């Protein structure tokens, strides 16, 4: 099975304290540590496991500047076979539709049975998977938390539903799935994997190679634009407990008792 | 001059850090408290490739350069000294001598299991009467027919008495040289050899989750093919092994200093007294600034020593300097880190007191700070 997994380089929330920049247009990106978007990492692990079972190839693709190469290389060290970087000055400032447009062009250049994305990334919009499927005119399932291969045309996929319910679907390939965290346990990248990929060349495709017109992507093509970026004021009735974990637990128990939630 | 790490080295730092934060950090406190060596964690470290880092792929090693190895040890030490000890001793003392001085048969027999982290190997040099002064050793090996018979004992031997131990390298006196000094030879002794006993040592102040053992040899018979290298090579092998080992102890000091510093900086920014974060008080901010400067110096010194080794140039003086500086630096930084944490710093759950305890061994193991100063003073012509 030929699988394409879309991955994004995002600020690592476990390594950074994230704050809003002084202009209030974005988070403060000075000195941030970046890594692969967590959801995407689950998607890559799932793809590797599928290929381990039924054979085939996993390709990871990222839209971004040259620094995005590091997340492609990382996912290749984890076990993806090929990497592909989609990079062009005109791609900067793309909205969700712009990113999906660029990815669609890359999908069209290959012959993929299955395209995986993470359910969402750092911006939290969760748009790309669905838009990409629509543009490709392929079936789509979101928030997928299990994949079973029925035959070379059909998959059975589980979806997480609000309230802890589970839904099972059959879906025809080629298709696009957006992957939820927890679908598997992503492996660690080992030193041997790193050595294998440390010096491989990762191909880069630009707007011309992909046949993407620059007006349709990037800030020029973006129809959704961020207007403001801030941390909301604390509302009334909300109290943030502070201190060590134990102190917080003690305070919480105390509060629950006072309000009658605990006897 | 180029101070950039390679793509490979940068990736190793990131991925080992991630592993250490996710797999070691959650259990370090408990293993330390229970004084428990974890075979499970050791195997996991083996799975991601933390053993056999400088060994060729032919023996299931990772075939890395020395800086990559040192970065990996540093990143584990940033989280926990005990696990870093298992790796540093496993590589530099356990695997190193077999890799550098062993025959093809010995390498084939032992290295793959050791490089996959399925088994560990000890390096027995120190004796009750021979610490800094190897001349005080009493362990002997006498040839009888085609066998050698070993008698004596060793003390403080890392990785030598745990469920993963496969065997030990032991240095013994095998005769006298023309100048009257003892002749030393190293032997490979498998753990089940009759007459050999390895007893775990307990109640350590530091490295409590690392395995330390006393070894007893009571008429232990090994065949000739268990000699490491040649008869009489033992002293040279020991010196060379310790030169490499110094770099990994340096990495433990540097990584431990970084770990204690990271905890202290984070705490200083979040702890408020007198209406502001304590990091804003000059007394605290200056301590942290001094630590940051010294850590930077230590890293440059240690990496330079590793670079010299990679380039096959002489690195022994720089290795002794790096071992001394990085070890003592971690002492200063861990001390500041506890101080910055105030009373909480003395509580186990804040982790800095473990760094404070674990550091002390670095001034003592693989050549004490005094011995490093002797070595350095000789190199500079005193
Ligand atoms: C946890 C742990 C793990 C260890 N792992 C291993 C291992 O795997 N393999 C192994 O072989 N050994 C191992 N060791 C032993 C370690 O290398 C020795 O403890 C170390 O070499 C010091 O020897 P000693 O303890 O006998 O101290 P001594 O040599 O007795 O030193 C006592 C003091 O005297 C000072 N001193 C000695 N000679 C001089 C001198 N000429 N001038 C000035 N001062 C001097 C020393 O610096 C020190 O301060 C380990 C030790 C520990 C605690």
**Residue A31's pLDDT band (cuts 50, 70, 90):** confident
DSSP state of B227: B
Q: What share of chain B is helix, strand, coil (3-state, %, to 5)?
A: 55, 20, 25
Indicate which of A194, A196, A246, A247 best probes the interface with B, i.e. most B CBs within 10 Å of its own CB. A194
Residue ranges of E strands in chain B? 120-124, 140-144, 147-158, 165-176, 182-190, 196-200, 212-223, 272-273, 276-277
pLDDT at residue B98 in the model: 98
Please tell me whether residues B267 and B133 are part of one structural domain: no
Element (H, E) at A131: helix A128-136
pLDDT of B30 > 80? The answer is yes
Min distance B289 CA to chain A CA atoms (Å): 18
Please tell me whether residues B241 and B368 are part of one structural domain: yes
Q: How many CB pairs under 8 A join A and B?
A: 52
Ligand 1 atom, smallest distance to B133 CA: 29
- Total structural domains in chain B? 3
Mean pLDDT, rounded, for B100-120: 98
Please give the radius of gyration of chain A, using alpha carbons only, rounded to the nearest integer.
21
Min distance B105 CA to chain A CA atoms (Å): 24
Asked whether residue B54 is assigned to any structural domain, the reply reads yes
Mean pLDDT, rounded, for B287-293: 98
Nearest-CA neighbor of B82 among B252, B244, B203? B252
Asked whether residue B2 is assigned to any structural domain, the reply reads no
Min distance A68 CA to chain B CA atoms (Å): 13
Mean pLDDT, rounded, for B38-42: 98
Asked whether residue B67 is assigned to any structural domain, the reply reads yes
Please give the radius of gyration of chain B, using alpha carbons only, rounded to the nearest integer.
21
Which of B64, B90, B120 is the last residue before a domain boundary?
B120
User: A198 and B8 in contact by Cβ < 8 A?
Assistant: yes
- List CB contacts of B140: < 8 A, sequence separation 6 or more: B150, B151, B152, B172, B173, B174
Please tell me whether residues B224 and B116 are part of one structural domain: no
Which of B73, B90, B120 is the last residue before a domain boundary?
B120
**Residue A253's pLDDT band (cuts 50, 70, 90):** very high
> How many Å from the N-terminal Cα to the C-terminal Cα in chain A?
57
What are the chain A neighbours of B12 within 8 Å (beta carbons)? 191, 194
Please say if B23 is a catalytic residue. Answer: no
Please tell me whether residues B160 and B251 are part of one structural domain: no
Element (H, E) at B30: helix B25-34
**Residue A13's pLDDT band (cuts 50, 70, 90):** confident
Using the mean position of ligand 1's atoms as its centre, give its distance from the Cα of residue B33 in Å.
25
CATH number of the domain to which B21 belongs: 1.10.540.10
Average pLDDT over all residues of chain A: 93
Is the distance from CB of A119 to CB of A178 less than 8 angstroms?
yes
Nearest C-alpha in B relative to A76 = B11
Mean pLDDT, rounded, for B14-30: 97
A28 or B210, which is more confident: B210
Angle (CA) A124-A45-A154 rounded to 5° is: 90
Report long-range pairs for A26-32 (Cβ below 8 Å, ≥24 apart).
Answer: A26/A226, A26/A229, A27/A229
Which of B233, B262, B293 is the last residue before a domain boundary?
B233
Q: What is the pTM for the complete model shown?
A: 0.92
Nearest-CA neighbor of A9 among A31, A41, A51, A47? A41
Mean pLDDT, rounded, for B323-352: 97
Asked whether residue B43 is assigned to any structural domain, the reply reads yes
Please tell me whether residues B368 and B295 are part of one structural domain: yes
Ligand 1 atom, smallest distance to B89 CA: 8
Nearest C-alpha in A relative to B45 = A190
Please tell me whether residues B359 and B260 are part of one structural domain: yes
**Residue A225's pLDDT band (cuts 50, 70, 90):** confident
Min distance A41 CA to chain B CA atoms (Å): 14
- List CB contacts of A247: < 8 A, sequence separation 6 or more: none
Please tell me whether residues B21 and B59 are part of one structural domain: yes
pLDDT of A30 > 90? The answer is no
pLDDT at residue A162 in the model: 84
**Residue A9, helix vs strand vs coil:** strand
Mean pLDDT, rounded, for A186-204: 96
Asked whether residue B64 is assigned to any structural domain, the reply reads yes
Residue list, ligand 1 pocket, CB within 6 Å: B 89, 93, 123-126, 131-132, 156-158, 207, 212, 361, 364-366, 368, 370-371, 374
**Residue B362's pLDDT band (cuts 50, 70, 90):** very high
Average pLDDT over all residues of chain B: 97
Asked whether residue B361 is assigned to any structural domain, the reply reads yes
- Burial classification of residue B307, based on how many CB atoms lie within 10 Å of its CB (0-12 exposed, 13-18 middle, 19 or more buried): middle
Nearest CB neighbour to A189, from listed B15, B23, B68: B15
Least confident of B24-28, B166-170, B175-179: B175-179
pLDDT of A238 > 90? The answer is no
Domain residues for the domain of B34 are: 7-120
Residue ranges of E strands in A12-86? 34-36, 57-63, 82-86
Using the mean position of ligand 1's atoms as its centre, give its distance from the Cα of residue B222 in Å.
28
Asked whether residue B331 is assigned to any structural domain, the reply reads yes
Nearest-CA neighbor of B45 among B65, B28, B66, B67? B28
Residue ranges of E strands in B12-114? none
Using the mean position of ligand 1's atoms as its centre, give its distance from the Cα of residue B186 in Å.
19
**Residue A262's pLDDT band (cuts 50, 70, 90):** confident
CATH number of the domain to which B328 belongs: 1.20.140.10
A207-224 pLDDT, tens digit per residue, is 999 999 988 999 999 999
Please tell me whether residues B229 and B248 are part of one structural domain: no
Using the mean position of ligand 1's atoms as its centre, give its distance from the Cα of residue B160 in Å.
17
Length of chain B: 382
Choose, from B316, B318, B328, B366, the residue flagged as catalytic: B366
Partner A contacted by B199 (CB < 8 A): no
Please tell me whether residues B108 and B162 are part of one structural domain: no
Give me the residues of B, 21-40, that contact A with CB < 8 A. Answer: 21, 23
Please tell me whether residues B190 and B264 are part of one structural domain: no
pLDDT at residue A26 in the model: 85
Is the bond preceding residue A160 a cis peptide, omega within 30 degrees? no
Asked whether residue B1 is assigned to any structural domain, the reply reads no
CATH number of the domain to which B130 belongs: 2.40.110.10
Tell me which of B364, B377, B378 to substitute to probe ligand 1's pocket, judged by most ligand atoms within 8 Å of the beta carbon. B364
pLDDT at residue B162 in the model: 97
Please tell me whether residues B16 and B138 are part of one structural domain: no
Using the mean position of ligand 1's atoms as its centre, give its distance from the Cα of residue B361 in Å.
9
- List CB contacts of B196: < 8 A, sequence separation 6 or more: B189, B215, B216, B217, B218, B220
């Amino acid at each position: 099975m030929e699988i394409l997994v879309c991955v994004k380089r995002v600020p690592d929330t476990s390594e950074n304290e994230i704050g809003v920049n002084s202009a209030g247009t974005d988070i403060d990106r000075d000195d941030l540590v970046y890594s692969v978007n967590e959801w995407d990492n689950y998607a890559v692990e799932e793809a590797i496991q599928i290929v381990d079972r039924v054979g085939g190839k996993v390709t990871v693709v990222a839209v971004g500047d040259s620094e995005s190469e590091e997340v492609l290389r990382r996912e290749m060290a984890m076990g993806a076979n090929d990497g592909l970087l989609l990079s062009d000055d005109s791609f900067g400032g793309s909205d969700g539709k712009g990113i999906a447009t660029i990815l669609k062009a890359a999908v069209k250049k290959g012959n993929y049975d299955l395209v995986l994305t993470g359910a969402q990334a750092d911006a939290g919009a969760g748009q790309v998977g669905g838009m990409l499927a629509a543009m490709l005119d392929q079936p789509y399932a979101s928030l997928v938390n299990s994949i079973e291969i029925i035959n070379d045309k059909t998959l059975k996929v589980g979806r997480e539903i609000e309230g802890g319910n589970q839904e099972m679907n059959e879906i025809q390939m080629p298709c696009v799935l957006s992957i939820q965290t927890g679908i598997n346990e992503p492996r660690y990248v080992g030193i041997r994997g790193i050595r294998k990929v440390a010096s491989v060349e990762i191909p880069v495709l630009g707007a011309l190679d992909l046949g993407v017109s620059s007006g349709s992507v990037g800030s020029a093509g973006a129809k959704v634009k961020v207007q403001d970026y801030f941390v909301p004021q604390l509302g009334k009735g909300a109290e943030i407990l502070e201190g060590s974990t134990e102190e917080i637990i003690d305070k919480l128990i105390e509060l629950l008792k006072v309000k009658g939630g605990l006897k | 001059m180029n101070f950039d790490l390679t793509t490979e080295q940068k990736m190793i730092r990131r991925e080992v850090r991630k592993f250490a934060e996710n797999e070691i950090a959650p259990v370090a406190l408990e293993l330390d408290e229970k004084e428990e060596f974890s075979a499970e964690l050791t195997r996991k470290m083996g799975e991601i490739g933390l053993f056999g880092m400088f060994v060729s792929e032919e023996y299931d090693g990772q075939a890395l350069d020395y800086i990559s190895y040192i970065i990996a040890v540093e990143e584990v030490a940033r989280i926990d000294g005990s696990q870093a000890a298992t790796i540093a001793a496993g590589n530099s003392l356990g695997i190193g001598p077999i890799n550098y001085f062993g025959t093809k048969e010995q390498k084939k027999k032992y290295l793959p299991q050791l490089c996959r982290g399925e088994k560990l190997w000890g390096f027995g040099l120190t004796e009750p009467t021979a610490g800094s002064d190897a001349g005080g050793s009493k362990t002997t090996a006498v040839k009888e027919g085609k066998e050698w018979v070993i008698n004596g004992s060793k003390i403080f031997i890392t990785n030598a008495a745990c469920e993963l131990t496969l065997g030990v390298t032991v240095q013994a006196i095998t005769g006298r040289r023309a100048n009257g000094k003892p002749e030393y030879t190293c032997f490979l002794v498998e753990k089940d050899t009759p007459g050999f006993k390895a007893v775990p040592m307990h109640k350590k102040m530091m490295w409590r989750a690392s395995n330390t053992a006393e070894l007893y040899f009571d008429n232990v018979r090994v065949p000739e093919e268990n000699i490491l290298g040649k008869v009489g090579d033992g002293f040279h092998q020991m010196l060379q092994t310790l030169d490499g080992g110094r770099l990994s102890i340096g990495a433990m000091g540097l990584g431990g200093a970084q770990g204690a510093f990271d905890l202290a900086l984070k705490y200083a920014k979040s702890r408020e007294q007198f209406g502001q974060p304590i990091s804003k008080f000059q007394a605290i901010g200056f301590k942290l600034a001094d630590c940051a400067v010294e850590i930077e110096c230590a890293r440059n010194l240690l990496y330079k020593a590793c670079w010299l080794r990679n380039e096959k140039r002489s690195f022994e003086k720089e290795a002794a300097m790096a071992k001394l500086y990085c070890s003592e630096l971690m002492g200063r930084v861990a001390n500041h880190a506890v101080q910055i944490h105030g009373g909480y710093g003395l509580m186990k759950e804040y982790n800095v007191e473990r760094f404070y305890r674990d550091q002390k061994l670095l001034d003592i193991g693989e050549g004490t700070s005094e011995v490093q100063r002797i070595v350095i003073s000789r190199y500079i012509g005193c």
